[in-house]
Every structure is written in structure tokens, then in C-alpha cells.
């Protein structure tokens, strides 16, 4: 299971509830992208959620 390398966001679990109130297990996955980023001065490929990308918490390597 992939996890955001910046904020640690991972899949959340819960129930899918139907109209008749039948509950089944399901997961909500974060929108993770595999990006090249600068980590401690070196370029590495890491999984980062789009919220961290959009907020500028990741320095992308070009």
C-alpha cells in the first residue's frame, strides 16, 4: 500500500452504505502521484499526494 512521503496520508477504511442501509467494507484511496523530487539534495522518485504537490510542500526535480 502506497503512502504519501510528505504527510503520511494513506487509505481510509469505512462502510459503503446502500439505500437499504446494508453496509459493506470499502476503502478511500488518496490521489498519490509518483514524482521526482529533491530530498536532502538528491533527486528521488517518491509517492506524494496531490494536496502536498499543490500546496508547495514538495520541491520538484526537473
pLDDT 10s digits, 44-59:
999 999 999 999 999 9
Contact 53, 30 (CB under 8 A): no
**2, part of any domain:** no
Q: Which domain holds residue 44?
A: 12-55
**1, part of any domain:** no
Could you please report the per-residue DSSP string of 11-58?
A: -EEEEEE-TT--EEEEEE---EEEEEEEETTEEEEEEEEHHHHHHT-S
CB atoms within 10 A of CB 50: 12
pTM: 0.80
**41, part of any domain:** yes
**43, part of any domain:** yes
**61, part of any domain:** no
- pLDDT per residue as tens digits for the range 6-45: 999 999 999 999 999 999 999 999 999 999 999 999 999 9
> Domain count of the chain?
1
Amino acid at each position: 500500500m502506497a503512502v504519501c512521503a510528505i504527510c503520511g496520508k494513506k487509505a481510509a477504511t469505512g462502510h459503503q452504505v446502500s439505500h437499504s442501509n446494508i453496509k459493506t467494507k470499502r476503502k478511500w484511496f488518496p490521489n498519490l502521484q509518483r514524482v521526482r523530487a529533491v530530498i536532502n539534495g538528491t533527486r528521488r522518485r517518491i509517492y506524494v499526494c496531490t494536496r502536498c504537490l499543490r500546496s508547495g510542500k514538495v520541491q520538484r526535480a526537473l
